Structure formats: C-alpha cells, structure tokens
Amino acid sequence: MQSQLNYTVCDILHVELSSYEFNSSTLAISPHFTNHIVMVKFLALAAVAASAAASAAVQIPQSPPKVINGTEVPMGKYSYVTSLRHDETYPSNCIASLVAPKILVTAAHCSLYEWARFASIGSHYLNGTMDGERIKIVKRTQHPKYNKASRYDYDFAVFELETASSFPPIKLNWDEDQFSAPGVVAWVRGFGTTKSDESQSPVLLEADVPIYSNAACQKAFSSLKYNITGSMICAGGESKDVCQGNSGGPLTVTRNGIEYLVGVTSLGFRCGVKGYPGGYARISEARDFIEPFLPKTAC
C-alpha cells in the first residue's frame, strides 16, 4: 500500500515524498520541487488528490529549496539567479535564470499548474523583498518536446516578463563539446539548506559539481529503469548536489572570465547520494526553442 501511495502522489501531483523509502519498482526519481495544494497539509495529499484536481484551488510547490553543502555567494553576484513565486511575497519554490532583459529560462515542470506568477530577480535573500526586483510573469512556454508524463526529457520552459529587468543576464552556451565535457567543474546556485533536512538558508548558496558523461549517468540510473537522453546532462552527486525546490536553477561553467548557462536543474535521486548525480536539461539541445525569444544581441 505504501509503494502504491508513493507512486500515485508523485505521478499525479509531482510530489517528492522525501520521507519515504523508494525502490526501483516504484517511482524512484522525482523533480526537485514538491507540489502542495493551498491549505492542504502534506500528509493529506493522497486522500484529496482527486477532488483537488477538479477544484479551483491553485496548486503551488512549497518545499524548501536546497543546495547540499553549498556556501554563500558574494553579495550582489550572480544577479541573474531568479526565484519564482505565486505572488510578490510568496516563498520561493522554483528557480530560473535571466537570459535576456524580459526572458527567463527554467524547467518545464516549474510551469505546471501556472502557479509561478512573479519573478524575484537579483536578490541575495530568500524572501526576495529586501533587494532586487519583483516582476510579473506574463507568459510561460514549454519546450514542444516536453512530455509531462515522462517529466524530464526536454525539461525546458521560457517565461516572459511584463517589464525588463535591469540586471545583467547570463550568457547561454550552445557549444556542447567545449563547455559540458565530462570532468569539467560546473556550479549550481539556489536558496536553501547546506545539508539535507536542515532549515533553509536565508541567502543565495552555490556549490561546485563535476560533470558526468551521459554514459556514466545512465549506468548510475540503470537500476531505477530511467533513460538518460541527449537532452540531459548530469553533474554532482555525493556531498554536493541540488535538492527539492531548486528545480529550474542554473548549472553554469566559466571560461575566460565569462559565465555560461549549460544546464537547468531537472531531476535527481534523493540528494547528494553517492553514485547518483543530479540531472539537468542540456541548454545546447534547446537552442532552436530558446533563441527565438532572445534579442539578436543576447548571444
């Protein structure tokens, strides 16, 4: 009964039940955010799933974002990191990256249920109200090849802002070979705990993570019967990783002093578990989708 409950809630509501033990016969991999229904407690989700789907209540992720073993970034740096919220003061639940003055790139599963209505851009703080900008999101577009049944293949979305941000956007990497080769050290950033199950950090965190080959990543996830496709890239794993709530966040590399976005946080098995790297949507595989949204000078 427990394994059936895990599968049903995860599959229908995209909820990660991190307090339960998963195995390869159930849904072992989950996106890095947890969906809750407003005014419904976590433990009651399974019982109310059917009625909630038919109700007008907004479904909003509410789990704390996590960067496992992360450290605080310097104040004012990485201002392209954006937290997504239901309103201007609502807690952050997904992350995005500013790639043009009015354009954000995030994970497609962060666009489900249309809960993300505001973007907090350039804030060093979790609450998003002490600095930075708060701009309304006016349009969300998922990659045409994204399939929410599988959730992770082509897990890209573009969010359009009502007004332009004044913060500098991050550059996009279209060169798969140069920037995402196995062994390259990349960086992840987001808000949350420095260790799994601890309280949230009030400030922006970062961690360095090595990139895996897709073959090595597929081997790691083979026991879970999950397919790592060409639209994905893997990094991190033991000790340093991202966790629930950091979906859509940036995976970046720096070359010649310039930082490039190479991946979008997408999937993982628990958090920081040995032998299981985190999964990201590979930016170089989404050029045809993202580029039409950008000003010609953005790249």
| Domain match, 158 and 201 both | no
| Domain match, 119 and 139 both | yes
Residue identified by tokens 């009015």 is 102
User: In sequence order, what DSSP letters do the residues of 10-50 get, joined into one string?
Assistant: HHHH----TTS---TTS---EES--EEETT--GGGHHHHHH
Name the burial class of residue 81, with classes exposed (0-12), middle (13-18) and buried (19+) by CB atoms within 10 angstroms of its CB.
buried
Within a domain: 114? yes
Helices (H) and strands (E) in the chain, counts: 5, 19
- Cα 71 from Cα 93, distance rounded (Å): 19
Within a domain: 266? yes
Q: Structural domain tally of the chain?
A: 3
- Given this model, what pLDDT does residue 185 score? 92
Q: What CATH number corresponds to the domain at position 183?
A: 2.40.10.10
pTM of the model: 0.76
CB 266 within 8 A of CB 258: no
- Please provide residue 146's backbone torsions phi and psi, each rounded to the nearest 5 degrees: -70, 135
For 213-222, b/e burial (b = at least 16 CB within 10 A) is ebeebbebbe
Three-state SS for 181? coil
Token digits of residue 32? 């890095």
Question: How many other CB atoms sit within 10 Å of the CB of residue 83?
Answer: 30
| Domain match, 28 and 119 both | no
- Cα 28 from Cα 6, distance rounded (Å): 9
Residue (of 38, 43, 45, 31) closest to 59 by Cα position: 38
Within a domain: 250? yes
Question: How many other CB atoms sit within 10 Å of the CB of residue 280?
Answer: 31
For 130-167, b/e burial (b = at least 16 CB within 10 A) is eebbbbebeebbbbeebeeeebbbbbbbbbebeeebeb
- Given this model, what pLDDT does residue 278 score? 86
Q: How many residues does the chain have?
A: 299
For 195-209, b/e burial (b = at least 16 CB within 10 A) is ebeeebbebbbbbeb
For 222-245, write each residue's pLDDT tens digit.
877 778 899 999 998 665 545 555
- Cα 100 from Cα 295, distance rounded (Å): 7
- Given this model, what pLDDT does residue 24 score? 34
| Domain match, 242 and 178 both | yes
CB 120 within 8 A of CB 133: yes
Residue (of 180, 190, 188) closest to 255 by Cα position: 180
CB 119 within 8 A of CB 69: no
Within a domain: 187? yes
For 40-61, b/e burial (b = at least 16 CB within 10 A) is beeeebbeebeebeeeeeebbb
CB 137 within 8 A of CB 163: no
| Domain match, 14 and 39 both | yes
| Domain match, 204 and 255 both | yes
- Given this model, what pLDDT does residue 191 score? 79
- Residues marked active site are found at 109, 155, 247
Within a domain: 299? no
| Domain match, 40 and 82 both | no
For 129-178, write each residue's pLDDT tens digit.
789 999 999 999 999 999 877 768 999 999 999 999 999 999 998 886 66
The whole domain housing 96 covers: 76-170+286-293
Task: Name the CA radius of gyration of the chain, rounded.
Answer: 18
| Per-residue confidence in pLDDT tens, the chain, 299 aa | 433 333 322 332 233 323 333 333 333 344 554 433 232 222 233 333 333 333 333 333 434 334 555 688 899 999 999 999 888 877 777 899 999 999 999 999 999 878 899 999 999 988 777 899 999 999 999 999 998 777 689 999 999 999 999 999 999 988 866 678 899 999 999 875 555 555 567 788 888 899 999 999 899 888 777 788 999 999 986 655 455 557 899 999 998 899 999 999 988 766 656 777 888 999 999 999 999 999 986 55
Within a domain: 141? yes
